Structure formats: structure tokens, C-alpha cells
Amino acid sequence: MTVFLQINGTAIVDIPSFYAEINRVFMAGENWQLGPSLDALDDLLYGGYGALAGHRTATVVWRDIDCSRDALGMAATRAWLQDKLRQPGTFNAEAIGRQLDALQRGDGQTYFQTVMDIFAGHPDIALLPA
């Protein structure tokens, strides 16, 4: 049985609002929320809880995906990486520096691209940009 879900891309203006929208769509009815973590998003998409519980497949329509692509683009990614650098000992500063350099050169991944890669890693979830 497939579940049909819809992400509202205009509700996403930055990384925190991305997770708020993911929680609205995927975690309705749960008594806990997904934290702002790419690993947590990946775990969520394996299913087992929230809107995916009991469903083998899902179709996710991402309305106004271009708005989300812009909101989670270079500026948001740069700020997210720079914030990690302000937490010494928590993250690998050398790796983050390489990510920032790649982003500045134009060949690094944005947060949005990483999110798309995570969705792509879940073949039982069809993501339909709209």
C-alpha cells in the first residue's frame, strides 16, 4: 500500500523551516519530532514510524520545489557549514573547510542537493517535483 504525501516548498525558507515542514508532513500524529539532522532525515525515510508506518511505498509530491532549492541553496549551506565550524571539537573542521571551499568554487553540494541525494537513496519513495 502506498501513502501519498505533499511537501509545501513555499513553507521552506531556511534549514529550520525545512525540518518543520518535514515534521508536519511525515511526523503528524507522533508525540516526538525529527531533529534538524540529515542522518535523521535518512533514518525517517526508511519508514516504520510517522506517516510512513505500515506503508511499503510512498509518493511524495514536493510543491514549489524551486522555492526550496533556493532556500536550501548556497547561502543556507554556507551558513550551516560555518555554524559547524563555530563548534570546535564537535565536527571535523578540515572536512568542513573542504566542503566550504568546494561550495565557493561552485562544485560543492548545497543542502538541497544533499537532501535530494538522501531521497534518491530510498527507492521505495517516489519524489515528484511540482
**pLDDT over threshold 90, residue 100:** yes
Nearest Cα neighbor of 85 from 101, 68, 106, 69 is 101
- Could you tell me the residue ranges of all domains in the chain? 2-71+112-129, 74-109
pLDDT at position 125 is 97
Domain over 2-71+112-129 is classified CATH 3.30.370.10: yes
pLDDT at position 29 is 86
pTM across the whole model: 0.94
**pLDDT over threshold 80, residue 78:** yes
Residue 42 · residue 111 · CB < 8 Å: no
**pLDDT over threshold 80, residue 88:** no
